[in-house]
Structure 1
Amino acid sequence: MSLNRTLRGRALLTAGAGLATAAALTVAGTATALPTGAAAGSTTVTPAGHYFKATLSGKATFKAGSVTVTCSVSVSASPTGTDGKNQIPAAPNNTNADGPVGGPLSAPTYSSCTASLPGVTPTVTTSGDWGVSVQNGSPSTASLTIPTGGFVLKTSGLASCTVTAAPTSSASVTGTWTNGTPAKLAFSGVSVPVKVVGGFGCPTSSTTSTFTVAYDITDVTDPTQQITVTG
């Protein structure tokens, strides 16, 4: 979630959803989403310039048709000081008087995944330029973006399926941001477009996937501090 203000009220992240994601699975656009009719207000993310890490809280679930995939490990992190991913912009760019603050996000990884179909083993591969943005409010909202084809889930075993999220263009999902120790970024039952290819047992008629995932957001630059979104 390298949060970069060059996104103001409209673009959120030319990087996607996270913590991203598909027909069964996807974590996450390209446009900051606010509740219909809501006016974007001022947003400040602190500590300015700090790097952060997103670590899965609980489990991530992805569902397409009758198939559900559950992953128990997911992380988005960027080596501190090496690039602008997962970094809050330096002041004054960590404040946007007219809307959200956002920027590039390291593609979240997913592992330790299981499928609801017996005899099936799922694996998830992520790639490309993901992104995230946050908007102060009551509640504060967050948008996670996945780039075109940035999330691919494959199954092997009794059913060989390939599920590609955002198959033709980048897609974004909207969730919530909660300040705390640690802060939390959560997406519940959100939907993304997918393409499913495969044979028997694959949900090939599914064109969307729903997923639920939550991340703990921690400060990597100074672990004693918390990533905070205010007005």
Structure 2
Amino acid sequence: MSRNRVLRAAPLGAAAALVAGVGLVALTAGPALAATGTTVTPAGDSYSASLVPGTTAGFVVGSTTVTCNQSANTGTIPAAPDNSSAAGPVISPVTPPTFANNGGACPTNVLFTTATTATNSTNGSWTIGLQYDAAGSTGTMTIPQAGVVTTISGLATCTITVAPDGPAAITGPWVAGTATAAPQLDFSAGVSLPIKVTGGFGCPTGATAATFTARYQITDTTDGTQQVTVAETASAPTTDPTDTPSA
């Protein structure tokens, strides 16, 4: 998500002279600390997120595992200046992701069953928030209430609703792109999602959480020569005095 625009505000020194009685007192400001923020570039460009080739998206509920080899969605980086945030992530709306396996239903580890996943934005928007951090930038996907509904069909018929009671968010590392690889949003370590399961015999109706795994590569679809980047930006420093006056 390479134009890498990094904005840094240098610490500023300020001096003021105060006349106190017959003496001259110098008041000097120490270096100000700039708050770290996030800048995402290229501003205004559209992007797509799709599974890294050769990987799958997994959804584990109890002892049931659903595996899909296709998952994707799209979004747009905010135009300047909204592509920068002095404190907090840069958030962009995205389309609800698709999930499929070779264009059809996804297999499960339960004999003679398959899973079909439908996503929606009925109760709110899907978003991705990108946050710069020197220790490792992150991406957070927010799922609106009931934004994912998976139906398992076959020997058992079950319905799994993600985020049944309100929006849910999942966070994973942002992996910067290289000369030979696109940047990635990595949920491969597994993230937990609140769920509600309904159905009859064989359905894990007691499960209240599912584990989601996936690794998405991010491609600039406005300009294929560019890569989406997450970099540091800094807010304007304060010039308030920080040192004790001295005569």
Q: TM-score range by the shorter chain?
A: 0.7 to 0.9
Q: Deviations over 1:117-168 (max 9, x none)?
A: 0000110000002111011012101111110100000011101000000001
The unaligned stretches of length 5 or more in structure 1 are 2-39, 78-85
Partner in structure 1 of residue 82 of structure 2: 93
Q: Deviations over 1:1-45 (max 9, x none)?
A: 9xxxxxxxxxxxxxxxxxxxxxxxxxxxxxxxxxxxxxx831000
Structure 2 letter corresponding to 1:73: Q
Q: Deviations over 1:69-125 (max 9, x none)?
A: 011001102xxxxxxxx1111111111111210121110000011101000011000
Partner in structure 2 of residue 107 of structure 1: 96
Partner in structure 2 of residue 28 of structure 1: none
TM-score (norm 2): 0.73
The unaligned stretches of length 5 or more in structure 2 are 2-34, 233-247
1:203 aligns with 2:204: yes
Pairing of 1:1-231 with structure 2 (within 5 A): 41-57=36-52, 58-77=55-74, 86-112=75-101, 113-128=106-121, 129-137=125-133, 138-180=135-177, 181-187=181-187, 188-231=189-232
| 3-state DSSP of counterpart to 1:121 | strand
User: What stretches of structure 1 move > 4 A for 4+ residues in a row?
Assistant: none
Give me the whole-angstrom Cα distance separating, in 1, the residues matched to 2:194 and 2:59.
12
Give me the whole-angstrom Cα distance separating, in 1, the residues matched to 2:182 and 2:43.
17
Give me the whole-angstrom Cα distance separating, in 2, the residues matched to 1:130 and 1:89.
15
Give me the whole-angstrom Cα distance separating, in 1, the residues matched to 2:186 and 2:95.
17
| 3-state DSSP of counterpart to 2:210 | strand
Partner in structure 1 of residue 5 of structure 2: none
Structure 1 letter corresponding to 2:162: A
TM-score (norm 1): 0.78
| 3-state DSSP of counterpart to 2:36 | coil
Identity %: 49
Give me the whole-angstrom Cα distance separating, in 1, the residues matched to 2:72 and 2:115.
17
Count residues with an aligned counterpart: 185
| 3-state DSSP of counterpart to 1:42 | strand
